[in-house]
């Protein structure tokens, strides 16, 4: 897919302020500070379309980005640590859960995992939920440039041997180098049109 246009549309905090034009949506999920906004920026080849921060939990709404007037990329709040504390973390969790449960336009989820650490317990809980709810998803291992190819290959071999992760679609990705961009973009384009 060639990116011709990408624009921020809305930061949604409830079902009532989501876009109503019926375009397919691809959501980006993962722990706080795993690189969701950086991935979106790299996909659309814009340095600061999605705001990035070194402070975990900066995304506190569902940020909609319209791409080519054909689909939305939706940056979800991260799970795990949030600088606003436990109450805010609970609110963001409920907001994300409502979006994932009650959305006819959601076609697929890009589930991000930090390649340096592998799937955390909360990542595994999310992956289990996606599988149990029969959601289409792609695992994207971010910050892959921090690991050697040999270490990445070893990690993927170990993961593919685990029953819970065997057979899942995945790709390494680096926002710094752009490695994996085309793979993610092709998957997103296919998922958006698959119905």
Q: What average pLDDT does range 15-44 have in this prediction?
A: 92
Prediction pTM value: 0.89
Among 74-88, 92-106, 157-171, the minimum mean pLDDT is found in: 74-88
pLDDT of residue 77: 87
- Is 1 part of any domain? no
Q: Which domain holds residue 20?
A: 6-193
* CATH number of the structural domain spanning residue 81: 3.40.50.300
| pLDDT tens-digit map of 102-141 | 788 999 999 999 999 989 998 998 898 899 988 999 999 9
The mean of the pLDDT values for the chain is 86
Q: Is the pLDDT of residue 162 over 80?
A: no
Burial of 58 (0-12, 13-18, 19+ CB in 10 A): middle
- Is 59 part of any domain? yes
Q: How far apart are CA 116 and CA 94, in angstroms?
A: 28
- Is 125 part of any domain? yes
pLDDT of residue 182: 96
- Is 56 part of any domain? yes
Q: How far apart are CA 81 and CA 102, in angstroms?
A: 25
- Is 63 part of any domain? yes
pLDDT of residue 93: 62
Among 2-16, 22-36, 44-58, 141-155, the minimum mean pLDDT is found in: 44-58
Q: Is the pLDDT of residue 195 over 80?
A: no
- Is 109 part of any domain? yes
Q: What average pLDDT does range 41-68 have in this prediction?
A: 80
Query: Distance between alpha carbon 187 and the CA centroid of its chain, in Å?
Result: 13
DSSP string, the chain: -----EEEEEEESSGGGS--S---EEEEE-BTTSSHHHHHHHHHT-SSSS---SSTT---SEEEEEETTTEEEEEPPPBS--TT-HHHHHHHHHHHHHHHHS-TTEEEEEEEEETTT---HHHHHHHHHHHHTT--EEEEEE-GGGS-HHHHHHHHHHHHTSTTTTT--EEE--TTT-TTHHHHHHHHHHHHH--
Residues forming beta bridges with residue 75, ordered by sequence position? 28, 63
Q: How far apart are CA 163 and CA 100, in angstroms?
A: 25
Q: How far apart are CA 77 and CA 36, in angstroms?
A: 9
Q: Say what percent of the chain tops pLDDT 90.
A: 51
Q: How far apart are CA 62 and CA 48, in angstroms?
A: 17
Q: How many domains does the chain have?
A: 1
pLDDT of residue 6: 95
pLDDT: which is higher, 59 or 161: 161
Q: Using only C-alpha atoms, what is the Rg of the chain? A: 16
- Is 135 part of any domain? yes
- Is 85 part of any domain? yes
């Amino acid at each position: 897919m060639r990116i011709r246009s990408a624009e921020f549309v809305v930061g949604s905090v409830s079902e009532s302020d989501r876009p109503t034009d019926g375009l397919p949506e691809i959501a980006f999920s993962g722990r706080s500070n795993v690189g969701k906004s950086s991935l979106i920026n790299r996909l659309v080849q814009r340095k600061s379309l999605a705001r990035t921060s070194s402070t975990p939990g900066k995304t506190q709404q569902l940020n909609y980005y319209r791409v080519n007037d054909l689909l939305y990329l939706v940056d979800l709040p991260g799970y795990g640590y949030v600088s606003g504390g436990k109450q805010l973390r609970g609110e963001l969790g409920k907001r994300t859960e409502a979006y994932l449960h009650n959305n006819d336009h959601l076609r697929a989820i890009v589930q991000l995992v930090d390649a340096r650490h592998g799937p955390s317990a909360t990542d595994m809980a999310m992956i289990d939920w996606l599988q149990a709810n029969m959601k289409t998803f792609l695992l994207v291992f971010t910050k892959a440039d921090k690991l050697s190819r040999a270490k990445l290959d070893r990690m993927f071999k170990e993961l593919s041997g685990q029953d819970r992760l065997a057979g899942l679609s995945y790709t390494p990705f680096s926002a710094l180098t752009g490695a994996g961009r085309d793979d993610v973009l092709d998957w997103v384009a296919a998922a958006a049109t698959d119905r």
